[in-house]
Amino acid sequence: MSFQHIEPNKDDFGVPVGDPGLQKLLSRMGASIAWQPGQQYVLITAADHRVISFTIGDPRFNAGSVFTQASFAPYTSRGDVYLPLESLARSINLAPLNDGNEVILQPQLTLLDVRSDGDKTTVSFRGAVLASPRVRAEADRLVLEFTGLGSALQASRKLSSAGVSEINVAVSGTMRNPTTTVNIVHARNVAVERVAGSDPSEVQYAFSPHGEIATPHLPPAPPVLVPRAASTPQSEPTLTPAGAASVTAVDVTPNGSGITVRLAITGSANYEWHRLPQPDTRWYLDIKGASLTAAARDEPEDTDAVKSLRVRQLANAPPTVRVALTLDSKKRVDIIPFAGGLTVNVPGEDIADATRSGNGTIGSGARAYTPALPLASPSGAKSTVNIAPYRAPNPHLIVIDPGHGGSDPGAHNATTVEKDLNLDVSQRLRSLLVARGWIVQMTRTADADVYGRNASDRNELQARCDIANAAGARIFISMHTNSYVNSSPSGTTTYYYKSQDLPLAQAIHHRLVPLLGTKDDGVVKNRFYVIAHTTMPAVLIETAFLSNPNDAELLRSADFLQRIAQGVADGVRDYAGSPAGTLRPGR
């Protein structure tokens, strides 16, 4: 590999950003480089997620927030930016070596870290490229050969760590084809195991003298406030008298300019909220008949939108837990019930005409959702969210959208393709809704594109919206199955976008999650195309993760798919009643 436009500069070389040799080198190292005319910065994204920035005219460069002096300041010439090559190379763990005729950029083994944790010793390595060493295990040593990597690491070190007594590093081969051999000497009765660390760019080995390797430390799972047992839904929702509820945890998370407060609540309770006038920056939520078993809280909040949060027990009759916010200005406050409690979300968005009060019910077995249209409460307050009235031209029609299809398979795992699952579940849902008296229209009934084969993404998504909009449907439900690049995430999420979507999303999610027994990932706002471009209350449901082994196992079960359909249908009933019964003309 060589450079086309390289020029000597001080003790280094200047290389232009656009040089094909530089581009190829960085690509080989899993890095990318970007610059555009007029920009002060040249930015390199390294394989280990560090951003290395050079500033034109500044001899310092920044590698992962560590400033280092370069050989010379980057400069512009002939419409390109020239960078100090050797400084750049070192920042991505390449050592410039001079063999007399030319400079060779040799990839390095840069880290050898030893950590002792009680009875276990962990040895970690990191290199310029993700190294997968050749391993030779002997009775009293582990030998690792990193082909292609040189090293300037300490040649030998004596240790008194559990089971490991010595580590030797030796470099062999040539400048162009080096091999670094690491020899780890350990006691004979030691168990050795390669472990997955929290940093995927590291190679780690654990040594345990007692022959037992503890499970490698993994990052903690996202907090789950309340363990939720799988429950069987009742045929009809019932109201449970308030009085036995407890607020067991209060979890406050910054969400940008605002905060999200998750209240874990056991039992059932009625709640009401109020926004005080003049100034209307004071907002509170009372959970009636509830006791606070979590710690009370009275703290300033360091966000743009929320100045303070108080959570305390009021000695009212009935006893009440009050959550009080002092806002920076008239901000939007969303109340989102979930299976194990209530979320108070302040997204930081200013609103012009804020509703003053509202109420609802939360808890197991409680009917937590108000109907789609605002109802007057005994006090005359409106329901819990601002809802733009929607009058469906075709109030008995529900449109179901099986996500993806045809030339767009969606996500997949080894055995299952998302588009097929979505269609299967949608057909089951259609049957249930039709049996309950609804007219149902599907955006697709086979493995087919809706707009046309290989259509643009927009045309395909808009075609699904057009079906519902043109038909004047009462409700739009888009069925999906989630996936991620690793197997860690799991659970069920119900997405909404428009304010009128929220009660429908809450109703469905509240029914769906307990019935499925999946992790509750919540009712989440998101600008997904099909729910943003439909004119009626709409939701997009991600039922479970194809990429998670437990969820994937569930998704293979016909019973589970039927329960998805059942949960969604029950949620629709909670939200809208039945077409033959509660609906009035024009709704």
Partner 1 sequence: MRSSRVFFLLLLLAVVAAAWWWSSQKKQGIVGDTVTVYYTKTDGTTEVPWTISMGPARDLKSVVFYAATQAVAGPAANIDAIRFPTGTHVRGVNVEGTIADVDLSGQVKSASGGSFGESGEFKSLVWTLTKIPGIDGVRVLVDGMRLDALPGGHLELDRPLKRSDW
The stretches of 59-101 forming alpha helices (DSSP H) are 85-91
Q: Quick check: 545 binds partner 1 (CB under 8 A)?
A: yes
User: Judged by CB under 8 A, which of 233, 489, 517, 577 binds partner 1?
Assistant: 489
Amino acid at 371: P
**232 burial class (0-12, 13-18, 19+ CB within 10 angstroms)?**
exposed
Q: 157 φ, ψ to 5°?
A: -145, 135
CB of 331 to partner 1, least distance (A): 11
Closer of 81 and 242 to partner 1 (Cβ): 81
Sign, CA torsion 116/117/121/123 = negative
CB of 516 to partner 1, least distance (A): 17
CB of 31 to partner 1, least distance (A): 9
Among the residue ranges 14-22, 93-101, 104-112, 248-256, the one whose residues contact partner 1 (CB under 8 A): 248-256
Nearest-10 Cα torsion for 484, 485, 489, 491: 30
Asked if residue 343 lies in contact with residue 260, where contact means CB atoms within 8 angstroms, the answer is yes
Give the SS3 label for residue 411. Answer: coil
Q: Quick check: 36 binds partner 1 (CB under 8 A)?
A: yes
Sign, CA torsion 455/459/462/463 = negative
User: Tokens standing for 161?
Assistant: 């760590």
Closer of 182 and 530 to partner 1 (Cβ): 530
Among the residue ranges 273-281, 354-362, 401-409, 466-474, the one whose residues contact partner 1 (CB under 8 A): 401-409
Q: Quick check: 542 binds partner 1 (CB under 8 A)?
A: yes
User: Judged by CB under 8 A, which of 21, 197, 318, 577 binds partner 1?
Assistant: 197
Asked if residue 451 lies in contact with residue 463, where contact means CB atoms within 8 angstroms, the answer is yes
Burial of 416-434, coded b for 16+ CB within 10 Å and e otherwise, reads ebbbbbbbbbbbbbbebbe
Q: Quick check: 40 binds partner 1 (CB under 8 A)?
A: yes
How far apart (Å, rounded) are the C-alpha atoms in residues 364 and 241? 11
Among the residue ranges 265-273, 427-435, 541-549, 570-578, the one whose residues contact partner 1 (CB under 8 A): 541-549
Residues between 493 and 522 that touch partner 1 (CB under 8 A):
493, 495, 497, 521-522
Closer of 268 and 355 to partner 1 (Cβ): 355
Asked if residue 127 lies in contact with residue 109, where contact means CB atoms within 8 angstroms, the answer is yes
User: Tokens standing for 550?
Assistant: 């437990």
CB of 34 to partner 1, least distance (A): 6
CB of 255 to partner 1, least distance (A): 6
Q: Quick check: 73 binds partner 1 (CB under 8 A)?
A: no
CB of 259 to partner 1, least distance (A): 11
Binding mask 269-308 for partner 1 (x = CB under 8 A): ----------------------------------------
Give yes or no for a cis peptide into 319 (omega within 30° of 0): no
CA angle at 433 for the pair 431 and 438, rounded to the nearest 5°: 120
CB-based contacts of 245, cutoff 8 Å, min separation 6: 265, 266, 267, 268, 269, 287, 289, 290, 291, 362, 363
User: Judged by CB under 8 A, which of 480, 498, 509, 510 binds partner 1?
Assistant: 480
Q: Quick check: 488 binds partner 1 (CB under 8 A)?
A: yes
Q: Which residue has the tokens 């087919």?
A: 448
User: Judged by CB under 8 A, which of 3, 6, 41, 281 binds partner 1?
Assistant: 41
Sign, CA torsion 379/385/389/394 = negative
Closer of 175 and 252 to partner 1 (Cβ): 252
Q: Quick check: 222 binds partner 1 (CB under 8 A)?
A: yes
Q: Quick check: 315 binds partner 1 (CB under 8 A)?
A: no
Q: Quick check: 82 binds partner 1 (CB under 8 A)?
A: no
User: Judged by CB under 8 A, which of 148, 412, 499, 579 binds partner 1?
Assistant: 412
User: Judged by CB under 8 A, which of 529, 550, 578, 587 binds partner 1?
Assistant: 529
Burial of 141-174, coded b for 16+ CB within 10 Å and e otherwise, reads bbbbbbebbbbebeeeeebebbbbeebebebeee
Closer of 54 and 283 to partner 1 (Cβ): 54
CB of 237 to partner 1, least distance (A): 27
Among the residue ranges 99-107, 343-351, 370-378, 498-506, the one whose residues contact partner 1 (CB under 8 A): 343-351
Write the DSSP assignment of 209-276 as a string of letters: TTS-PPPPP-PPPPP-SS-----PPPSS--PPPSSSEEEEEEEEEE-SSSEEEEEEEESEEEEEEEE-
Q: Quick check: 253 binds partner 1 (CB under 8 A)?
A: yes
Q: Is 125 left (phi over 0), alpha (psi -120 to 50) or beta?
A: beta
How far apart (Å, rounded) are the C-alpha atoms in residues 453 and 405? 10
Binding mask 156-195 for partner 1 (x = CB under 8 A): ----------------------------------------
Q: Quick check: 411 binds partner 1 (CB under 8 A)?
A: yes
CB of 244 to partner 1, least distance (A): 29
Closer of 145 and 408 to partner 1 (Cβ): 408
Which residue, among 467, 437, 471, 430, has the nearest Cα to 451 in the 3D structure? Answer: 467
CB of 390 to partner 1, least distance (A): 20
Q: Quick check: 38 binds partner 1 (CB under 8 A)?
A: yes
Asked if residue 363 lies in contact with residue 240, where contact means CB atoms within 8 angstroms, the answer is yes
Q: Quick check: 547 binds partner 1 (CB under 8 A)?
A: yes
Q: Quick check: 449 binds partner 1 (CB under 8 A)?
A: no
Among the residue ranges 156-164, 317-325, 477-485, 579-587, the one whose residues contact partner 1 (CB under 8 A): 477-485
CB of 577 to partner 1, least distance (A): 30
CB of 81 to partner 1, least distance (A): 13
User: Judged by CB under 8 A, which of 2, 4, 32, 329 binds partner 1?
Assistant: 32
How far apart (Å, rounded) are the C-alpha atoms in residues 352 and 366? 32
How far apart (Å, rounded) are the C-alpha atoms in residues 41 and 61? 10
Q: Quick check: 34 binds partner 1 (CB under 8 A)?
A: yes
Binding mask 199-218 for partner 1 (x = CB under 8 A): xxxx----------------
Q: Is 118 left (phi over 0), alpha (psi -120 to 50) or beta?
A: left
Q: Quick check: 404 binds partner 1 (CB under 8 A)?
A: yes
Q: Quick check: 24 binds partner 1 (CB under 8 A)?
A: no
Beta strand 156-161 pairing with 164-173: antiparallel
